[in-house]
Chain A
Amino acid sequence: DIQMTQSPSSLSASVGDRVSITCRASQTITSYLNWYQQKPGKVPNLLIYAASSLQSGVPSRFSGSGSGTDFTLTIGSLQPEDFATYYCQQSYSPPYTFGQGTKLEIK
């Protein structure tokens, strides 16, 4: 099975900051990498698919990069509504797997 490892597990930042979250796969997943945002009590929301494609309706301050085993989610200028937990997820080979999550908190 492909293991997905996110770092950091938690992150404190301020409104306006630029932040990055990384995700590493235990083997190549080419570009079959999604990023989800989840707020407490809510359903996960797809932000980025195919490693770097912005899902419709998602603000352009979110961007994704990477291929193979190493991926990054970047938020260009944090807004108050961005404080949430972020998950990477691979759809390259079943069983599909999620990273453990990165909790983004207000500093």
Chain B
Amino acid sequence: EVQLVESGGGLVQPGGSLRLSCTASGFTFSSYWMHWVRQAPGKGLVWVSRINRDGSSTSYADSVKGRFTISRDNAKNTLYLQMNSLRAEDTAVYYCARGLYSGDSTLGDYWGQGTLVTVSS
């Protein structure tokens, strides 16, 4: 069974940093592109970032470029999102999600349950 479990969310002050993790199981993690998507309370879905299978290629939403860094450790089956210079508007539930098919960059069908990040003083 495919499982994605996020962790690392919490309350952080504006300007602070946080690192989210997403632990994967039930599939060959190293064969899939991975994504982060976020959703502010009561708002819509916003794609945040993606990373290719070996971590050599990444992309970001304009709103987080230069502040967030996506990475992965295939030996640990874990995806990361390092978030720096956090702002109030970064407050959201952060989901990790798998690519649709092995080797395909399309956002797919398996998502974690999400971890809440709250940026507030």
Contacts and interface: CB of A to CB of B under 8 A. Distances in A.
A91 B108 CA distance: 10
A36 B45 contact: yes
B114 A89 contact: no
Given A43-B95, A44-B37, 17 more contacts: A1-B62, A38-B45, A43-B111, A43-B113, A43-B114, A49-B109, A50-B106, A87-B44, A91-B105, A95-B47, A96-B35, A96-B47, A96-B107, A97-B47, A98-B46, A98-B47, A99-B44
A95 B44 contact: no
A34 B107 CA distance: 8
22 contacts: A34-B106, A38-B45, A43-B95, A43-B113, A43-B114, A44-B111, A46-B100, A46-B108, A49-B108, A89-B107, A91-B105, A91-B107, A94-B59, A94-B60, A95-B59, A96-B50, A96-B107, A98-B46, A98-B47, A99-B44, A100-B44, A101-B44
A1 B100 CA distance: 22
Contacts of A85: 44
B61 interface: yes
Contacts of B106: 32, 34, 49-50, 91
Contacts of A43: 95, 111-114
Given A49-B100, A95-B60, A89 B47 contact: yes
Interface in A31-85: 32, 34, 36, 38, 43-44, 46, 49-50, 55, 85
A32 B37 CA distance: 17
Interface residues of B, number: 22
Nearest to A89: B107
Interface string B17-52: 000000000000000000101000000111100100
Contacts of A34: 106-107
Contacts of B44: 85, 87, 98-101
Interface in B45-78: 45-47, 50, 59-62
Interface string A1-14: 10000000000000
